[in-house]
Structure 1
Amino acid sequence: MRKFLPWIVVGGLLLIVAFWYVNIKNGAVKVNQEVSKEWGNVETAYQRRNDLIGNLVKTVKGAADFEKSTLEAVTNARASASQVKIDPSNMTSEQLAQFNQAQGNLNSSLSRLLLTVENYPDLKANQNFLKLQDELASTENQILTARTRFNESVQKYNNYILVFPNSMFLGNYKEKPYFDAVAGAEKPVDVEFDFGNEKEAK
């Protein structure tokens, strides 16, 4: 029996290493899936905002003789933003930068639209517009939360795959970029209107 003892010890060590390796790989799968889930939440939040913007444009167009160029700018920016798709399993910093740029352009055009709305006080009586205004403000907060949680999941993922000894076994897992907002994008779009100062001439 003693002559088999070294082989038993070696076999036991190999079994421990195999279980350790499998545990590391399974852990990588979990943190990678978490990133994918949180990115899905980011996309869902942005999609909700895009839908609200589309409804907002329709409401504004129907309620006022609105500037055509302003509406077209928002519509075009919304279409461009919705076309940027990212696969979270292969995302790059360049792709996120493109996504940020498209969303930033939409933010700018939406801000111009909302500023122009102030010249149309009749919209203050449009309940659909007021509801969309509130929902848009709420969605901006949801976007901020989704981006923060995504970055937290990326940090957890990157730490997991880069730390030693995990990095020895996870060479096929690549570091993921963080969601760095474009300049000014950290501020939600201002959707508050001071209609109270609008006075009809007597």
Structure 2
Amino acid sequence: MKKIFIYILIILFITGLWGINIYNNLIQLDQKIKTQWSQIESVYQRRSDLIPNLVNTVKGSALFENQTLNQIVEARSRASSVHLDSNNLNQNQIDKFQKTQEYLNNYVGKLLIVVENYPNIKSTENFYELQNQLEGTENRINVERYKFNEEVNNFNSYRNQFPIIIIANFFEKFQEKGYFKIQKESKNNPKVDFSLY
């Protein structure tokens, strides 16, 4: 009887160590996602910080459309107001964040297209430098989003393995994380029509 009790204790001890190891691995993978999320917030903040300078540079042209500038300011305000809790990076939250950022991105793109009609703005050194910084920041955003998706994939793949999923489901912080996905509008190829020229 004593031997059975000892065997049970050994099995419980090994199971406990196994559970602790899984928990610690989940914590480590979750922390990597949070760190990468901080990087994403940082590059989006950099873009947000560049936009007022870009708008002020463009405002210098008295002929420039104020409606476009106002739309960018509004889009920036909307994008800056969305903050996600890094403990709750589910797909709905990521989609909400991404939608507001895409909204801002669309208006910045619109600004750059409209600026094409104003050669005096395009030729200023400030505008040129800000445009290059903005382009570099957009590239950085793509890199950081890719890294984030890799970390999310590592976490979700690990947490959804059996029997790890059993332990993960005991803790709310180990729920599946969301990915950055291509927006529906981006899936359509742009239509180019040269018939007007």
Fold-level match, TM-score > 0.5? yes
* Equivalent position of 2:178 in the other structure: 177
Cα distance, 1:5 vs. partner? Answer: 4.0
| Residue of structure 1 equivalent to 2:194 | none
User: What is the deviation of 1:4?
Assistant: 4.5
Aligned in 2, Cα 1:185/1:45: closer, same or farther, shift over 3 Å? farther
In structure 2, what is the Cα distance between the partners aligned to 1:175 and 1:157? 8
Give secondary structure in 1 for the equivalent of 2:60. helix
Equivalent position of 2:81 in the other structure: 83
In 1, are the aligned partners of 2:92 and 2:178 still within 8 Å (CA)? no
C-alpha separation between the residues in 1 aligned to 2:184 and 2:113? Answer: 20
Larger Rg: 1
Question: Amino acid of the residue matched to residue 179 of structure 1?
Answer: F
Counterpart in the other structure of 1:129: 127
1:8-87 aligned within 5 A: 8-87=6-85
TM-score, scaled to structure 1: 0.84
CA, structure 1 residues 55+185, in 2 after alignment: closer, same or farther (shift >3 Å)?
farther
Unaligned runs of 5+ in 1: 187-202
Shift of the alpha carbon at 1:124? 3.4
CA contact (8 A) 1:64 1:123 kept: no
Range moving further from structure 2, 105-114 or 176-185: 176-185
Letter in 2 for 1:181: I
Specify whether residues 42 and 71 from structure 1 end up closer, same or farther in structure 2 by C-alpha distance, changes over 3 A only: same
Identity of aligned residues (%): 39
Q: Say whether the 8 Å CA contact 1:104–1:185 is kept in structure 2.
A: no
CA distance change for structure 1 residues 185 and 48 in 2, over 3 Å: closer, same or farther?
A: farther
Aligned residue in 1 for 2:98: 100
Q: Following TM superposition, by how much is the alpha carbon of 1:95 offset from its aligned partner in structure 2, in angstroms?
A: 2.0
Tell whether the 8 Å contact from 2:116 to 2:122 is kept in structure 1 after alignment. no
Per the alignment, residue 196 of structure 1 pairs with none
Distance 1:169 1:104 in 2: 36
Partner of 1:117: 115
Pairwise CA RMSD of aligned residues?
A: 1.8
Conservation of the 8 A alpha-carbon contact between 1:74 and 1:109: yes
Q: Which runs of 5+ in 2 are unaligned?
A: 188-197
1-side partners of 2:182 and 2:80: how far apart? 17
